[in-house]
Chain A
Amino acid sequence: MIPVIAFIAIQLAGIFLVPLMKVRWKGPVVLSVVLLNAMLSGYYAVLSLAGESFAVTLPGSWVTGPVTLQLDALSGWFLLTINAVFVTGGFYGMFYMKAYREQTNNLSLHGAVFILLHAALLSLCVVQNSIVFLVLWETMTLSAFLAVIFEHEKAATIRAGINYVIQSHVSIVFLMLGFIWVANKTGSYDFSAIRSYTATHDGVHSLALFLCFFIGFAIKAGFVPFHTWLPHAHPAAPSHISGIMSGVIIKIGIFGILRMLLLIQTDYSAVGFVILVFSVISGVYGVMLAIMQHNLKKLLAYHSIENIGIIGMGIGIGCIGLGSGSYLLAVLGFSGALLHTLNHALFKSLLFYTAGNVYQATHTLNVEQMGGLLKKMPQTAALFLVAAIAICGIPPFNGFVSEFLIYSGMYEGMQDAQLVSLVTIVFSVLGLATIGGLALLCFTKAFGVVFLGTPRHELRQPVHETSLGQLLPLYFIAGFIVLIGVFPQLFLSFLNRPVSLFTGALHAGISPLQGNVSGVMQSVSWAAWGFILLTAVLWWLRKRTVRNRKAAASPTWGCGYVAPTSKLQYTAGSFVRSYSKLFKPILTVKKEEEVGGVFPPEAHYESHPYDKAEKWLVDKPVKAFKRFMGCFLFLQNGKLQVYILYGILFIISIICIPMLYERLVAFIEFLKQL
């Protein structure tokens, strides 16, 4: 009880304090409030991972009924992930926002909203009452919206923000539908009602209920085809908010799906197949579009969709394991998914923060205008490189560990699967392998074009490395990325309890990740160390051998051409050209004015990748709807008299319709009597 009051008091105090502070104190105040909240919730989260789960029942109100707060191991894992990203994000944001020092009011709002967002996300993980959950969900959505539209003077930012708000509300509609369904049948808003309702009803009801929640949460998580808000909102937001959105806000959708899996008693195999199919499509489609993007942040946003797909594959495999009673499969699937949730939160936020550094240095996000930044910003480049290798799932970093778990799950799952599930799993393997290869293509492009070579564009101001304070949280995240990569068994031991929540029904043990899995992880850890050691030894050898030799410098070999300019470099577009030609049927690229003729006159050429899902699911329906609504435009003619007439007509009709209805009923009664 006391921690709950303390939690609310801290954030209320923070929200009221931020506007009163001087500009230079706003950032530290926000950060310290976030830190306090993180320490408070983190303490209980760690305890819950160690096996002490907490539950408090608050009296609530007559609307909600009693409100239960429960902190189990699953909540604990997500609380820690959220806190890690928010603390580093807050720290980074404090420095990032210095560039906007003049906008005092805007900064106050941003700070307050940042605290609110953190509090809402933390509470969402523990609340067990559907009405309170929905209120918090709305709080999170709106505060995230306000955080995204920080630069609201730009039209594109506002458009992206409104797009986000609308789609988030579609998500809420589905969630409400699910909660109302349960509340209507059981009369209780408590989450335990979902469990008791689905346990007593047949499979079709529970499956439909699950799908309802799944769509609601999938919109938030960004599964294809519900992802269209994501690539617009992430680039529009300030970089620390992009990192947080990609790191944790979309993960709350994953949390919702996992929570519902714990509550809803249904045919897990069917659920697993549904999730797996959506995930494979999301993963492959996300990365395929990511390659085409030339806006650095948009590229990263599409990669979030891909990674949500990978997490979803883990969940799907885990569910199939639950459904078929295969303990190892379930353990590998869920642990892979949960670990990848943390991993993605780490490397994706790092990527967005480094992209933020690049943006502040160059004032552009178009990768075609960058190049050669490594020499000006070596630390940012190195951090980006670490995150890029991690996101490709390459050892010795953390991305490999979780992808390895999911792969192992798939290969384990093949052993005793039957034809249908076997074919599904093989296509998932195909998907995951393709994702790995495409991610490599995408991130060699991103790193190569942004940081390597020579500058492609004359920038208006000199480029500098970011201040050390701003880089500090980035180093912290990079440290975690390496740590998980080289000591996976350590982090997996924290996953014992969250995973056993799911697999407890199959095998009543509290440490599913001991023994076999832990042994394999030990070997992965050795292999990672071996690699690092080998590279170090080789590097030392190389250093020693070439110590006394001359190392000359000369221009890059240009096949005999001696006056190369930076314009001759390979661009991002040319790097992926053969890829985009091959996948033309799936990708849409809008081109403007081709260059033509043998001696072409002055011309320009622009290409914009266009998301087909967005075209068919959002843009076309909206256009059709607009056309339909256009038929009623004559009503809005701008004449005040007519508007007053509408008002009078409205009042008259309100009064008359019930009367007419009564008359009509009387008349029909009369007819019947005849």
Chain B
Amino acid sequence: MLSLILIVLAAFFFTGIIIRTKSMASGRKGPGILQPIKDVVRLFRKGAVYSETTSFIFQIAPTIYFSSIVMAMLVIPFGQSKGVISFNGDFIFFAYVLALGKFFSIIAALDTGSSFQGMGASREALFSMFAEPAFFILMGSLALLTGHTSFYEIFTELHLGSYVSYAIALLAAFVLVMLAMIENSRMPIDDPKTHLELTMIHEVMVLDHSGFDLGLILTAGYLKFAIYGALVVNLFTGVVAYEYAIPLFFFIQFLMAVSVGLIESFIARFRMSHNAQFIVVLTSVSLLIFFGVLLISGKFL
């Protein structure tokens, strides 16, 4: 339950911090930290325009997308407190319920009959396909390391002791951050601020949504970032007492937001054809983590 509150709180500021960092890096003052939330609130008050080509799929997709993200958020624990839903293998549920949201956002994009949106949908489907194995192998390695199969038990049992385990935790954090980038369509996979539809992934998929639906999609995006941030935090705060863990949570979320902002300010987006290779590298890194775990648990004989 605690994790739920923390994630929602972090989501309030996360995107604002990214935008602020980018503004400052380019020498501007930039909008306030809460501007993204204000945008969403404004969108919730607006009417909508629907394309004549679309059907009911286009209308229900944002709702389902949003609720899939909320369901995913419910399984995330924080330190000693469980998530709202917690059971053995809940990370499988986590990944697949996110896939449900993705399924609907893809078919909603195809529903508009636009070639741009189709292109974005095709890329989204392909890249998330490549990202899936990395997450499952990462969680498998952590499950092997701790002997448990639920988020809560894995994170509370994750004792960082030897140098190898620090290396593993860092690599795991790297994989999770990169997965967050892919899932949120951020740099270096996708550039949210590009203004050419041909080079977009996520932005072009939601091109036709408006009003309340767009508000839902944007809110879901903010939550998604905070969810992955919370996962990264959990790698390090399993047994830390709350008075340190909660500030640490916000510190790491802040750090992540700032680094996303910096990355987007100073690095160019990958060429679209290189993205797939990059994502496959993530799977190899998670295999590396797996072999590291084998090394620690002494099964490498």
- B-binding residues in A (CB < 8 A): 371-372, 374-375, 378, 385, 389, 392-395, 400, 403-404, 407-408, 410-412, 414-415, 418-419, 422, 426, 429-430, 432-434, 436-438, 440-441, 443-445, 447-449, 452-454, 516, 519-520, 523-524, 526-527, 530-531, 534-535, 538-539, 542, 545-546, 549-559, 564, 566, 568-570, 574-579, 581-582
Chain B at the A interface: mostly helix, strand, loop or mixed? helix
Which residue of chain B has its CB nearest to the CB of A534?
B67
B170 within 8 Å of A (CB atoms): no
Q: Knowing A389-B100, A436-B99, A559-B197, say if A530 contacts B132 (CB, 8 Å).
A: no
Question: Mask for B120-161, Cβ within 8 A of A = 1, else 0?
Answer: 011101101111110111001001100101000000000000
- Chain A positions within 8 Å of B126 at CB level: 441, 578-579, 582
Given A440-B125, A549-B47; A523-B85 close (CB under 8 Å): yes
B231-255 CB mask vs A (1 if < 8 Å, else 0) is 0000000000000000000000000
Query: Taking the complex as formed, is B87 at the interface, i.e. its CB lies under 8 A from any CB of chain A?
Result: yes
Picked from B44, B57, B92, B117, the residue with its CB within 8 Å of the CB of A407 is B92
Q: Which of A395, A535, A539 contacts B96 (CB 8 A)?
A: A395
B177 at the interface (CB under 8 A from A): no
The answer to whether residues A556 and B74 also contact, given A415-B147, A441-B126 and a CB cut-off of 8 A, is no
Say yes or no: is B46 at the interface (Cβ < 8 Å to chain A): yes
Contact with A along B271-286 (1 / 0, CB 8 A): 0110010000001000
Given contacts A453-B113, A527-B85, contact A551 B47 (CB under 8 A): yes
Q: Which of B88, B114, B212 is within 8 Å of A520, CB to CB?
A: B88
Bound-state CA distance A443–B99 (Å) is: 12
A566 CA to B131 CA in the complex, in Å? 32
Query: CA A164 – CA B131 in complex, angstroms?
Result: 38
Smallest CB gap from A535: residue in B: B67
Partner of A395, one of B57, B100, B112, B135: B100
Contact with A along B190-230 (1 / 0, CB 8 A): 00000001000000000110011100100000000000000
- Residues from chain B with a CB closer than 8 A to the CB of A385 are 57, 107
Interface pair B115/A449, CB less than 8 Å apart: no
Measured between beta carbons, the chain B residues less than 8 angstroms from A569 are 113-115, 118
Give me 27 A-to-B residue pairs in the complex whose CB atoms sit less than 8 angstroms apart, sorted by A's number. A378-B55, A394-B97, A395-B96, A400-B93, A404-B92, A426-B140, A440-B103, A440-B125, A444-B107, A523-B87, A524-B93, A527-B85, A530-B71, A530-B85, A531-B71, A534-B70, A538-B63, A551-B48, A556-B51, A556-B113, A556-B114, A556-B117, A570-B119, A574-B119, A575-B118, A578-B276, A582-B126
Residue from A437, A453, A542, A559 within 8 A of B212 (CB atoms): A542
Complex partner residue of B129 from A395, A437, A555, CB under 8 angstroms: A437
Let me know if B149 and A411 touch, CB within 8 A: yes
Assess whether B133 is in contact with A433, with CB atoms less than 8 Å apart.
Answer: yes
Q: How far apart are A579's CB and chain B's nearest CB, in angstroms?
A: 6
Contact A440 B99 (CB under 8 A): yes
How distant is the Cα of A545 from the Cα of B287 in the complex, in angstroms? 47
Q: Which residue of B lies closest to A375 (CB)?
A: B55
A26 smallest CB distance to B (angstroms): 38
The chain A residue sitting closest to B47, CB to CB, is A549
A520, B301: Cβ atoms closer than 8 Å? no
Indicate whether B260 reaches chain A with its CB closer than 8 angstroms.
Answer: no
